[in-house]
Every structure is written in structure tokens, then in C-alpha cells.
Amino acid sequence: MELVRSQRLLEASWLDAQISQAVVSVAVTAVVLSVFGIIVARGIARPMRRLAVAAEALGRGESVAPLPEAGPDDIRNTAEAFNRMQERLQRFVEDRTRMLAAIGHDLRTPLTSLRLRAEFVADAEEREKMLATIAEVQKMTEATLAFAREEATAEGTRTVDLPALVESLCDDLAELGRDVTFQEGPKISYRCRPDALRRAVRNLVENAVRYGERARVHVARSGDGVEIVIEDDGPGIPDDAAEQVFAPFFRSSSPEARRRPGTGLGLAIIERVVTGHDGRVEVTEGSAGCGLTVTILLPLATGADPSGRRPG
């Protein structure tokens, strides 16, 4: 009996040892596979995250360094396609800008010739009309050249305090005697091309003062973005013109608007700057039922830049 009991105890101990060894082997295998899975997942997630951040930056008009074309076939093919797309977009914008600048430049010579010929027209009234028309075309040409130069200027992006940026330009206009008020708000850090955005907001504020007597400006968060709001007390614009005001060379058909100086390209430049930041411009009726409210809606960038650094 004792011999049988000892044999059974030995068998049980051996079985426990085998089970323990199997459990340890399974645990070690699971840990190794988990570590391997984490490494593989990170190897896939990192380039995809870099691609997402690069696409967001490209949508805001930033210059993005080419993505590394390495890794699994699908990841490498995606990076190659993104780099080709970015190269084509940049080439398209550069070609369009050069063409626009060339057209504007080449128009100067025939306009000068027309002006010289108009000077010899005997009818004084007809001569003045011709010269006025030529001057208007020349003004549009100069505006086109300015627009092309704006497109060709590659300003770098950096993070700024957006309310402080807008407040400083409002203070500058107020010191010049313009009726501009700024409502203070919390600090909002925003990555942008500050000079271009400042010019766009300044043009909108000056338009509000010119056409609406005064401008009230504030900056606030709005969902996942930030909004810059400019309100005035002017006559506003017709509902059917709200979608057209940002079209190049659009001018209102009202006699009063026709008497005011301008080429109709200013708002198109403003919209180009805003869309270059992946934003949009909305024009609505004033909150009090009169005047005009222009809102610049800008998305707040999230994540790091494609090189792996945090925006700053």
C-alpha cells in the first residue's frame, strides 16, 4: 500500500510539474507575442498618424516635408502617393501663380498704349470716360499682380495668441481714429501664418468701418475651432449676394457701391487666406436685425507635426 501511495504521489507531482511548465511556457509565449504585436502595431500606427498630421497640415496650406517611404508595402505605397499628390498640388499652385502674374504684367503695355491714344480724343467728355475705364482696368490689373505676389509669398507658420493678434490690429485702427472696439476674451493659441491672417482680418475690419460706420470684433472658441467675428451697423447686403461677395472682381450693383473705390478683389484675397488655413468665411445679417456680421471660422490643429514634434 505504501508503495502504491508513493507511486501515485510521484505521478501527481510529475503531472503538477508538467502543468506548471506548460503554464509558464504559455505565459512566456503570450508575453513575447504581445510585445511583438505592440511593436508591429506601433510600426503601422506611427506612419499612419504621421500621414494624418501631414494631410491636416497640407490642408491648412503649410509646407510639409516628404513622408518617409519605408515600411510595409501598403504603408510605403500610401506615403509615395501622398508625396506625389503634394508635389503635384505645389506645382499646380506655382504654375497658376506664374500665369496670373504674367497676364497681369503683360496687360500693362496695351493699357499704357490705350491711355496715350485716349489723350488725343477731341471730345472731352468721351475722353474722360475712356480714361476712367482704362484707369479702372489698370487698377484691376494692379490688384491681380498684388494677388499673385500674395500667392507667391510663402510665409512660415507659427503659434500665436490669436485674440492678442486681432486686438493689436484693432488698437492700431482705433488710434487712427476708426470706430473699432474689441471685446477681450481668453487666450487662444493658434498655429497660422500670422501676417497673412492679420491682413485678412484688418481688411474685413476696415470694410466694416467703411461701409457700416463702426466695427465690433471678438474672438472665441467654437466647438473644435475658433471664430473671429466682425460686426457693423451698415445697410448689409442682399441675401442673393452673400454667396457672391467673395468671388474675384465681384461688385455690388447698387449705385452707392459703384461710387466707392475698389476692384472687388479684396474679399477674394481674404477668402483665399482663410481657406489656406482650412477655414471658411460666413456672412450673415447682424444680430440686431441690421448691419452685417462676418465670421471667420478656423479649425484648431491637433496632434504633432509630421516630423514628430509638437506644434509650437
Give tens-digit pLDDT for 76-115: 888 889 889 888 888 887 777 777 777 777 777 888 888 8
Residue 125 has pLDDT above 80, yes or no: yes
- Which range (134-143, 183-192, 212-221) has the least confidence? 134-143
Q: Side-chain half-sphere of 267: how many Cα atoms within 13 Å?
A: 24
Domain locations in the chain?
1-106, 112-154, 156-312
Helices 162-175 and 194-212, axial angle in degrees (round to 10): 40
Residue 306 has pLDDT above 50, yes or no: no
Would you say 107 and 133 are in contact if contact means Cβ atoms under 8 Å apart? no
What is the per-residue pLDDT for 247?
66
Tell me if the domain spanning 156-312 has CATH number 3.30.70.330: no
Give CA angle at 125 (124, 129), nearest 5°. Answer: 115
Q: Side-chain half-sphere of 145: how many Cα atoms within 13 Å?
A: 12
- Which range (83-92, 105-114, 203-212, 300-309) has the least confidence? 300-309
275 Cβ contact list (under 8 Å, min separation 6): none
What is the per-residue pLDDT for 302?
47
Nearest to 61 by CA among 279, 224, 306: 279
Task: Kindly indicate the confidence band of residue 239, based on its pLDDT and cuts at 50, 70 and 90.
Answer: low
Q: Distances from the Cα of 56 to the Cαs of 49, 171, 206, 279, in angstroms?
A: 11, 33, 31, 12
Share the mean pLDDT of the chain. 78
Alpha-carbon torsion angle 198, 199, 201, 206, nearest 10: 130
* % residues pLDDT > 70 (the chain): 74
Query: What's the count of helices (H) and strands (E) in the chain, helices before strands?
Result: 8, 7
- Which range (6-20, 42-56, 189-203) has the least confidence? 6-20
What is the per-residue pLDDT for 310?
37
Stretch 281-290: mean pLDDT, rounded? 73
Q: Distances from the Cα of 9 to the Cαs of 2, 14, 16, in angstroms?
A: 11, 9, 10
Nearest to 195 by CA among 184, 203, 187: 203
Stretch 200-212: mean pLDDT, rounded? 89
Q: How many residues does the chain have?
A: 312
What is the per-residue pLDDT for 205?
93
- Which range (105-114, 170-179, 254-263) has the least confidence? 254-263
Q: CB neighbours (10 Å) of residue 33? A: 10
Give CA angle at 157 (154, 161), nearest 5°. Answer: 140
Question: Is the pLDDT higher at 289 or at 268?
Answer: 268
Nearest to 104 by CA among 134, 153, 140, 151: 140
Task: Kindly indicate the confidence band of residue 20, based on its pLDDT and cuts at 50, 70 and 90.
Answer: confident
Question: Is the pLDDT higher at 102 or at 255?
Answer: 102
Max mean pLDDT range (101-115, 148-162, 233-247)? 101-115
Question: Is the pLDDT higher at 4 or at 135?
Answer: 135
H/E stretch holding 101: helix 73-106
For the stretch 23-69, pLDDT in tens is: 777 778 888 877 777 776 676 778 888 888 888 777 766 777 888 88
Residue 309 has pLDDT above 50, yes or no: no
What is the per-residue pLDDT for 228?
94
Residue 287 has pLDDT above 50, yes or no: yes
What is the per-residue pLDDT for 249?
58
Stretch 270-288: mean pLDDT, rounded? 81
Grid-cell match 473644435, residue found: 224
Say how far apart CA 80 and CA 91 lie, in whole Å: 17
Nearest to 296 by CA among 276, 260, 271: 271
